[in-house]
């Protein structure tokens, strides 16, 4: 009995296109809701991080400026404009100052100035011009020691670091005084009725001091 020969077939190579097609389909398929949500969260986290970093970079310089504390904040402040009415010279009337500018004012600062000017014991006006960003510690200690006296006297302060006072050295009120624009502190002493000096002449202004020693001596004599 003859045996039938088993037929054999050669294996054909299976093309890899099907696998590639599946991988391509995975890349091109639309994202699921979960994947979309995760992507949105990731983008949100990155954006929030960038915003925080930018905020720190931008706010840090401002925070540094805000930490500067005015060492003389408890005293009565004046500005460039007020100097004209305290002791500015009027050519027409040939007089210094115009105190009526401060009378009956509703501004609290002007009321404080007016109270000092109305005091019958007031014969001199003192204005300490200073830079709050670079105030001499020795001078500050001396002022703190004299605080009670200075608060009662016609003692005013003007911060040169304020924008409102950036043109103070151009003011006609002090144009005739020997002022040093580069000094960190200088004291102006104005005699309301004038004062006769040792040379027999009457002057309305004393020497403008811009050193700690002489400023301190002048304040101690108030």
Return mean pLDDT, the chain. Answer: 83
Whether residue 70 is predicted with pLDDT greater than 70 in this model: the reply is yes
More confident residue, 43 or 198: 198
Architecture of domain 76-220: 3-Layer(aba) Sandwich (3.40)
Average the pLDDT over 5-20 and give the result.
Answer: 51
Residues ≥6 apart with Cβ < 8 Å to 123: 191, 192, 193
Return the pLDDT at 140: 96
Average the pLDDT over 118-123 and give the result.
Answer: 87
Return the pLDDT at 60: 55
Return the pLDDT at 36: 67
129-183 pLDDT per residue, tens:
999 999 999 999 999 999 999 999 999 999 999 999 999 999 999 988 989 999 9
Q: How many CA atoms lie within 13 A of 149 on its CB side?
A: 11
Distance in angstroms (rounded) separating the CA atoms of residues 82 and 158:
10
Whether residue 64 is predicted with pLDDT greater than 90 in this model: the reply is no
Instruction: Name the residue ranges covered by the structural domains of the chain.
Output: 30-66, 76-220
Return the pLDDT at 57: 59
15-46 pLDDT per residue, tens:
555 555 555 555 556 656 566 666 767 666 67
């Amino acid at each position: 009995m003859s045996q039938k020969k088993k037929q054999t077939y050669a294996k054909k190579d299976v093309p890899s296109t099907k696998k590639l097609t599946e991988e391509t389909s995975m890349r091109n398929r639309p994202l699921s809701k979960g994947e979309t949500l995760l992507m949105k969260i990731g983008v949100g986290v990155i954006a929030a991080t960038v915003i925080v970093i930018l905020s720190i970079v931008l706010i840090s310089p401002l925070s540094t400026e805000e930490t500067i504390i005015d060492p003389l904040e408890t005293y009565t402040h004046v500005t460039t404009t007020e100097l004209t009415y305290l002791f500015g010279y009027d050519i027409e009337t040939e007089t210094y100052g115009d105190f009526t500018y401060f009378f009956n004012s509703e501004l609290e600062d002007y009321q404080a100035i007016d109270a000092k000017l109305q005091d019958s014991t007031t014969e001199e006006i003192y204005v300490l011009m200073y830079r709050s960003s670079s105030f001499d510690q020795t001078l500050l200690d001396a002022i703190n020691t004299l605080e009670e006296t200075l608060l009662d006297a016609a003692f005013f302060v003007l911060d040169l670091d304020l924008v409102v006072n950036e043109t103070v050295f151009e003011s006609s009120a002090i144009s005739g005084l020997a002022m040093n624009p580069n000094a960190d502190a200088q004291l102006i002493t104005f005699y309301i009725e004038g004062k006769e000096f040792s040379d027999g002449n009457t002057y309305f202004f004393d020497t403008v001091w811009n050193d700690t020693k002489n400023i301190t001596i002048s304040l101690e004599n108030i």
